A and B are shown apart, each in its own frame.
Chain A
Amino acid sequence: MTLLFFFSLLILLMIIGLPVAFAIGATASIWVISSGMPLVIIPDKLFAGMDVFVLMAIPFFMVAGETMNKAGVTEKLIKFAKFFVGHFRGGLAYVNILSSLIFAGITGAAVADVSALGTIFIPSMERDGYTRAYAAAVTAASSIVGPIIPPSIVIVVYGAITNTSVAALFAGAIIPGLLIGTIQCAVVFIQARKRNFPREDVEFTSATVLKASKEASLALVMPLIILGGILFGVTTPTEAAAIASLYAFIIGVFVYKNLKFMDFLCIFKNATYQYTSLMIIMGSASVLGWILSRSKAHLALIKILFSLTDNPQIILALVLIFLLFVGTWLETNATVVLLGPLLATTMGLIGIGALHFGIMMILAVNIGLITPPLGVCLFAASGTGNVRVEAIVKEIWPYIFASIFVLFLIAYIPGIVYFLPNLLGLM
């Protein structure tokens, strides 16, 4: 009962426009006051929620990704991706998805990927005969692999807040991320035949292939640094992110030679705004998380779920549908911070591990990025491509359903998630 009351209060506060961090903090404070505990707990838990070393990987990944983007790595990656899939029917749509997959290994968020790839793909796909809405839809849809394939900011957030190994989560997210990319390619494959999409003229000479690979190779080293270091247990995620930033600086300043002092100013300022606004939510959510676990909220929640059905498989499906729904309204990281700890412990009661559940949760909230009415990637693609959101929505439905299919696939075949963490001994 108290659980329902405080969650309704929280939702009400968010609806009337309190910043998510303050809405969570105010709800938690009212809860602390009403249960008669000392108020000094509030700043204490807020502090403790941010006092986690792995969280420092977040601003570092932001800096590294933004630096690579500003250094002009995007065009080089696209040129490289064209050699693999450009000559198929629907070539540029495949190139778009493949570029997103490669880009995902460099950046950890989706919205930045939409504008980085969209500015190039939307005009060039339109020139090739695709509608602008379709080009924007493919760009938005494929961008959701960005926060799934490591490095991923939302995975670091989930790992920190639920005490799950970030390395294991990174490893577990790779195959699901690639599956989403693959199934989206399958959608393109079907559409390409039906709508007679054009092929891309790719000039296949040893000179062009060599040049493109050489230019892209410097960018492709970055995912190797990040993943190699973390997955083989050589570096912590924070250290890997710091090395990736250094690598990006070197590439931008000495190799591509197009980063100036003003660019760095901009990169650091933007990263500061983004990570601090995320961390302040983590802090206030840690106050709420503390009181949730103290009042044994997970037991109350599982009781509510069991009153609906006693089949764990159906409970899992209900939770995933709930997450897909929340993901369309609330920002990705905020959803994970708010619901991650409670749902992960609750799912633990029906035998679903925090690693498996984490990957499902991350997929679900990222699908929310492209689901109407509020999917932010839809709006980013609309802004980048200068297309109406409604037009993009019409084209994006097959991609949403395909991605949801992957979500349920990994939900009921946990082996897909566990395969790589097991193989690498991260469990």
Chain B
Amino acid sequence: MGKIVRYFERVIEWVSSSILVVLLVIVWAQIVSRYVFNNSLAWTEESARYIMIWGVMLGSSIALLRGYLISIDIFIRKAPHSLQLIAKFFNVGLSLSFLGILVYQGVKLCEIGANMESPALGISYSWMYSAVPVGAVFLFFAYLIHSRS
């Protein structure tokens, strides 16, 4: 189990960090085409935006595991143990419910998006929208693992 988790972790970490490199390259290409060749590429801005959303939805689960997700813990750390347990119950329950909504409704959003095409690239919106449910699944498990430790 632990092995599978670590494997996923490393793959997602590599993919999301590489996405940041890809974003830079796309924007450099946009700059070169616009200012050097005086010819704006139509696909750069749109594709960069969608790739970034994929990067965020994948990368945030790793950010969560590494403790980068912002939260306020000063109050809860000072609370008595029994209160901490109740708080944790609501914390995990509500967070996972929110992520569950994102997964379930995200799939519905993809179904809606299947009939829509992006203006510049002309590809189905399902490709972009699917970042939300997929990322939310990873966030769901990441939060489960994170709150067990």
Contacts and interface: CB of A to CB of B under 8 A. Distances in A.
B23 to A, nearest CB: 6
Interface string B12-23: 010011011101
Contacts of B59: 272-273, 275-276
B69 to A, nearest CB: 4
Interface stretch (A46-54, A163-171, A201-209): A46-54
B92 to A, nearest CB: 9
Interface string B25-62: 00110110000000000000100111011011001101
A358 interface: no
Interface string A12-53: 011111111110011001000000000110111011001111
Given A40-B112, A53-B45, A277-B63, A16 B132 contact: no
B119 to A, nearest CB: 12
B98 interface: yes
Given A19-B95, A53-B48, A245-B24, A47 B17 contact: no
A46 B132 contact: yes
A268 interface: yes
B24 A43 contact: no
A279 B31 CA distance: 24
SS of B interface (majority): helix
Contact of B129 (A15, A47, A273): A47
A56 interface: yes
B84 to A, nearest CB: 9
Interface string B86-111: 01101100110111011001101100
A44 to B, nearest CB: 6
Contacts of B91: 13, 16-18
Interface residues of A, number: 58
A22 B105 contact: no
A281 B101 contact: no
Nearest to B58: A276
A238 B108 CA distance: 32
A331 to B, nearest CB: 5
Contacts of A55: 52
Nearest to B77: A17
Given A19-B95, A43-B132, A56-B49, A280 B31 contact: no
Most buried by B among A16, A40, A278, A279: A16
Nearest to A44: B109
A184 B16 CA distance: 40
Contact of B94 (A13, A53, A265): A13
Contacts of A42: 101-102, 105
B70 A29 contact: no
Nearest to A52: B49
Nearest to A50: B53
Contact of B56 (A15, A235, A245, A276): A276
Contacts of A52: 49
B128 A272 contact: no
B109 A20 contact: no
A276 B129 CA distance: 17
A329 B20 CA distance: 30
Most buried by A among B55, B64, B98, B106: B98
A344 interface: no
B11 interface: no
25 contacts: A13-B91, A14-B72, A21-B70, A26-B95, A40-B108, A42-B102, A43-B106, A43-B133, A47-B109, A47-B128, A47-B129, A47-B131, A50-B52, A56-B52, A60-B27, A238-B27, A242-B27, A268-B20, A273-B62, A274-B68, A277-B60, A278-B70, A279-B60, A281-B70, A374-B74
Given A18-B71, A272-B16, 12 more contacts: A17-B72, A39-B105, A40-B105, A43-B132, A43-B133, A56-B49, A63-B24, A239-B27, A274-B63, A277-B63, A279-B60, A283-B56
